[in-house]
Amino acid sequence: MSIHIGAKPGDIAETVLLPGDPLRAKYVAETFLDDAVCYNQVRGMLGYTGTWKGKRVSVQGTGMGIPSHLIYVHELLADYGVKRVIRVGSCGSLQPDINLNDIVIAMSASTDSNVNRLRFGGADFAPCADYQLFSRACAVAQEKAIPFRAGNILSTDVFYGDDPDGWKLWARFGVLAVEMETNGLYTEAARAGAQALCILTVSDSLVTHANLSSEERELTFGSMMEIALELAR
């Protein structure tokens, strides 16, 4: 086992889906996977391995924010031979034409976090999605007639910020949506030579202040999972 994941070598598949919420990991395992087995309960950050259409796939909760997310992604890549990490999460829309329930596929992830500047001695790394995963995800969405937007997103360190208009600068530069993990995910995968992608469902809008109830979130979660699971095949 590694420090935060209580799995044995071989317990975790080469492709891992990464929801922030550990109970979402349980829900995905129970709803979409066959023969799912729980391999991690350390800190309640549940992780499962099962099969989807005959292909082995794992799903691991990561918690919220880049520091928590990085702990799990680092251990998956460094200690369990994981090759493909796919975040499935929620985001806030920063654009008037991106609505609740829409799907956003992150080509790149900007950030207000200092984590990468710590890593790169004050310089800025530009984290981007793995092109193969990204182009396949777009193709799957098109085949299934699932509408989506693709582009730059913002991974923020601050959910409850003090400046209510702080997001508008990012929006003016075309950033589609805000969440809290992907800048770390894409960087850590690059370091390990692994493939990474982030697929998001819009759960709230900073433009209109609308938001989804947790029941409503479940409904659109399915489209995001359909795309993500196809990438494991």
Q: If binding is defined by CB under 6 A, does position 157 make contact with ligand HPA? A: no
Instruction: Say if residues 17 and 86 touch (Cβ distance below 8 Å).
Output: yes
Q: Which of 183, 195, 201, 203 binds ligand HPA (CB under 6 A)?
A: 203
Known catalytic residue: 11? no
First to last CA, the chain: 27
* Residue 217, token pair as written in the block: 């979130």
Coil/strand/helix, residue 97:
coil
Q: How far is the CB of 177 from ligand HPA (least distance, A)?
A: 8
Residue 91 or 171 having the CB closest to ligand HPA = 91
Question: What is the per-residue binding string for ligand HPA in 39-78, x denoting contact by CB under 6 A?
Answer: ----------------------------------------
Residue list 174-193, contact with ligand HPA (CB under 6 A): 178-180
Number of residues forming the site for ligand HPA (CB under 6 A): 11
Are 189 and 195 spatial neighbours (Cβ–Cβ below 8 Å)?
yes
- Reported as type and span, the H/E element at residue 169 is helix 167-172
Which CB atom, from 33 or from 73, has the smaller least distance to ligand HPA?
A: 73
Least distance in angstroms from the C-beta of 37 to ligand HPA: 29
Binding ligand HPA (rule: CB under 6 A), the pick from 14, 21, 79, 204 is 204
21, 112, 157, 204: the active-site residue: 204
- Phi/psi for 162 (5° steps) reads -90, -20
Using the minimum distance from each CB to ligand HPA, give the nearer residue, 13 or 66.
66
- Which residue among 63, 92, 127, 184 contacts ligand HPA (CB under 6 A)? 92
Residues found in the chain = 233
- Residue (of 209, 232, 207, 187) closest to 96 by Cα position: 207
Mutual angle of helices 214-232 and 131-143, in 10-degree steps: 120
The answer for residues whose C-beta is within 8 angstroms of residue 33's C-beta and 6 or more apart is: 48, 50, 51, 52, 57, 59
Catalytic site residues?
A: 204
Positions touching ligand HPA (CB under 6 A) are 90-92, 156, 159, 178-180, 203-204, 206
